[in-house]
Amino acid sequence: MTSVLIVRLPPTVTAAALLTAILAVAPTLAEEKTGAPQACTLQAGPTRSVVRVIDAETVLLDDRQEVRLIGALAPRSPDLSPQAQPWRPEEAATAALRALVLGRSVSLATSGRLVDRYGRRLAHLFVEQAGERVWVQGELLVAGHARAYGLPGSYACIQEMLAHERVARQAGGALWSNAAYAVRSARRTRELMRRRNSYEIVVGTIAKVAVTRARSYINFGADWRGDFTAGIEGRVLRANPEWAKTLSSLEGKRVEVRGWIQYRNGPYIDIEDPSQIAPVDETLPGRSSPPAGAMTSGDRDEQQAPQKQKRPAPKVPGALDL
């Protein structure tokens, strides 16, 4: 496995735009006191052809294997009834993915968890386009057709994905112009509970950090029985000891938390990785997101590109080049 910086920007985004996104919130909360950036390491896999785009985050390869694009969470209609009408953000995201990969050869790259609970392979995809290797997840994120996320065991390259997402958030188009994917206030607990089981970005000021032997709690209100809370299991704290030491310093700070809304004495998000908590970037009113990472060779929710700009130089800090 060889370490290289990877990520090609699409023609609609300048190198300066992504570099600004990468540096804007750097260092992250996880790196603030450790000075150690998170590495982004991928293992190169096979090259296959995409014979069908199943949905906005899943493709079928010529070997009949389904691949889910890890890290780029596609839009899904909030209406799951049989009478549901087509959901435009989902249609736009699916069309964007189809234009990128359908009928083309793609190179797979993996890290950590290899399959999801449905048996689909989890991978990053790369496709040749105009003589350049394009990171498919990055293209979808930077165009606003997906949100950055991770799964337990699959947080590789999350900082790169957040940087790409940030470019789309700054532009405010596609997915980010749709109220269904707005950033939620930690104070609006009833609204959060109505969005139970959905992936949300929640912003608020931390009232208190409570540490217990089994789990730490980040409380966003005085009443832990009903206010929004983020929780971190002991195993996550033990896996990130330096970050764990910084948690108490978060009291009184305004942050955004991303993850799936659950119910535990009020709306609750389980923290599996430090990247799920980030300081709020005041330059993104109602929106925000963080920074960088590096790469190497070798469950569900939520779309048009930012304004056209000049094609950037092929290599920039924080870019991918498998």
* 116/166 same-domain check: yes
Tell me: do 63 and 154 sit in the same domain: yes
List of E strands, the chain: 3-4, 43-55, 58-61, 66-69, 72-73, 105-110, 121-129, 132-135, 147-148, 184-185, 199-205, 208-211, 215-219, 229-233, 254-263, 267-271, 277-279, 295-296
Quote the domain boundaries for residue 202.
183-279
pTM of whole model > 0.85? no
pLDDT of residue 41: 77
Model pLDDT, residue 296:
33
Answer yes or no: do 201 and 114 share one domain.
Answer: no
Examine the domain organization and report whether 223 and 252 are in the same domain. Answer: yes
Could you report the per-residue pLDDT of 267-293, keeping only the tens digit for each?
A: 999 999 999 999 987 545 433 332 222
At how many degrees (to 10) do helices 158-171 and 15-24 cross? 110
Q: Is residue 303 part of a domain?
A: no
Whether 142 and 216 share a structural domain = no
The more confidently predicted of residues 294 and 37 is 37
The CATH number covering residue 238 comes to 2.40.50.140
**pLDDT given at position 283:** 45
Q: How many CB atoms lie within 10 A of CB 60?
A: 17
**Residues 12 and 150 grouped into a single domain:** yes
Q: What CA–CA distances, in Å, run from 173 to 18, 144, 178, 184?
A: 16, 7, 8, 18
Which pLDDT tens digit goes with each residue over 102-159?
A: 999 999 999 888 999 899 999 999 999 888 999 999 999 999 999 999 998 889 899 9
**Domain shared by 86 and 171, yes or no:** yes
Query: What phi, psi does 92 have (nearest 5°)?
Result: -65, -40
Looking at the fold, whether 221 and 140 belong to one and the same domain comes out as no
- pLDDT-based confidence at 3, cuts 50/70/90? very low
Asked if the structure places residue 301 within a domain, the reply is: no
pLDDT at res. 84: 76
- Does the residue 320 lie in any domain? no
**Domain for residue 310, yes or no?**
no
The pLDDT of 182-201, averaged and rounded, is 95
My answer on whether 35 and 154 are in the same domain is: yes
DSSP 8-state code for residue 273: S
Give yes or no: residues 150 and 210 share one domain.
Answer: no
The verdict on 142 and 159 lying in the same domain is: yes
Structural domain count, the chain: 2
Look up residue 116 and give its amino acid.
D
202, pLDDT greater than 80:
yes
Higher pLDDT residue, 300 or 1? Answer: 1
Q: Say if residue 145 is in the same domain as residue 241.
A: no
Any domain includes 144: yes
Q: Pull the structure tokens for residue 113.
A: 């968890």
Give tens-digit pLDDT for 59-68: 999 999 999 9
- What is the identity of the amino acid at 47? T
Q: Does any domain span residue 316?
A: no
* Average pLDDT of the chain to the nearest whole number: 79
